């Protein structure tokens, strides 16, 4: 898949890239470098050990950081760090294992179910669309629509994906994407509006890489 190939290439490049956390390429400008793993945890990119103890956990910071996340539209580190979060005079360059938006848990209530992302507060969430999730059998990863400014697609973290996987039906065989998803007793089509095979995901990835999203702090 295009986006994954891009990020994999970036990972190989970034290991040879020289940078210093907090470097100042211009007066009053500071640059920092981050990494988002497939569980949605945020780390300093050069952290030797990346696990729960070393990730950023302060919800207010995470909300502030992710509300400003966008495509890297600067002339610096575009290939190695495809995403950027500008916080005042700080440029926070970001690379990720898969996608920058990783959904963490579903918020169920009487009015509207929502799915939260970024390990921030529940305010960082979008409407839960169980009829638009899609799983790729080759990786086992599950995807859900995300805000457009992030590329329209987000990854569902492994723990939640495992919980949801028991509700998939594979009418075309387990080596093919699931065809149905059961939610609250209703059998729904699995992913027709998000992706159907790699063609639509490629197209979504291309839109992500060629778009110039604005730094928006509102919800979806």
141-164, pLDDT tens digit by residue? 999 999 888 888 999 999 999 999
Residue of 122 and 43 predicted with greater confidence: 43
Residue of 210 and 164 predicted with greater confidence: 164
Regarding whether 77 and 159 lie in a shared domain, the answer is no
Q: CA angle, 48 as apex, 47 and 54 as ends, to 5°?
A: 55
For the ranges 2-16, 21-35, 127-141, which has the lowest average pLDDT?
A: 2-16
Regarding whether 62 and 119 lie in a shared domain, the answer is no
Residue of 165 and 219 predicted with greater confidence: 165
pLDDT score of 192 = 52
Q: Which residues contact 201 (CB under 8 A, 6 or more apart)?
A: 1, 2, 3, 143, 153, 195
Q: Using pLDDT thresholds of 50, 70 and 90, give the confidence band for residue 121.
A: confident
Q: Note down the domain range covering 199.
A: 102-203
Query: Do 83 and 69 touch, CB atoms closer than 8 A?
Result: yes
- Look-up of token digits 């996987």: 165
Q: What is the spatial distance between Cα 165 and Cα 172, in angstroms, rounded to a whole number?
A: 16
Q: What is the spatial distance between Cα 63 and Cα 217, in angstroms, rounded to a whole number?
A: 10
Regarding whether 198 and 126 lie in a shared domain, the answer is yes
Regarding whether 81 and 146 lie in a shared domain, the answer is no
- Residue ending a domain, choose from 64, 96, 128: 96
18 occurs within a structural domain: no
Q: What is the spatial distance between Cα 69 and Cα 67, in angstroms, rounded to a whole number?
A: 6
| Res 96 pLDDT > 90 | yes
Give backbone dihedrals phi and psi of 56, rounded to 5 degrees, phi first: -80, 130
């Amino acid at each position: 898949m295009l986006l994954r190939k891009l990020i994999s290439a970036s990972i190989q490049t970034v290991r040879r890239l020289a940078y210093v956390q907090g470097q100042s390429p211009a007066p009053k400008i500071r640059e920092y470098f981050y990494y988002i793993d497939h569980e949605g945890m945020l780390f300093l990119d050069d952290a030797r050990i990346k696990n729960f103890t070393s990730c950023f956990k302060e919800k207010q910071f995470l909300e502030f950081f992710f509300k400003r996340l966008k495509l890297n539209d600067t002339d610096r580190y575009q290939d190695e760090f495809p995403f950027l979060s500008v916080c005042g005079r700080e440029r926070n360059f970001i690379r990720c294992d898969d996608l920058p938006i990783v959904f963490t848990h579903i918020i169920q209530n009487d009015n509207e179910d929502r799915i939260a992302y970024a390990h921030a507060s529940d305010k960082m969430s979008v409407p839960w669309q169980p009829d638009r999730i899609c799983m790729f059998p080759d990786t086992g990863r599950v995807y859900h629509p995300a805000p457009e400014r992030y590329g329209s697609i987000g990854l569902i973290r492994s723990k939640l994906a495992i919980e949801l996987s028991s509700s998939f039906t594979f009418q075309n065989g387990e080596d093919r994407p699931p065809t149905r998803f059961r939610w609250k007793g209703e059998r729904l089509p699995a992913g027709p509006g998000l992706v159907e095979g790699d063609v639509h995901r490629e197209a979504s990835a291309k839109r992500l890489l060629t778009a110039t999203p604005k730094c928006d702090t509102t919800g979806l």
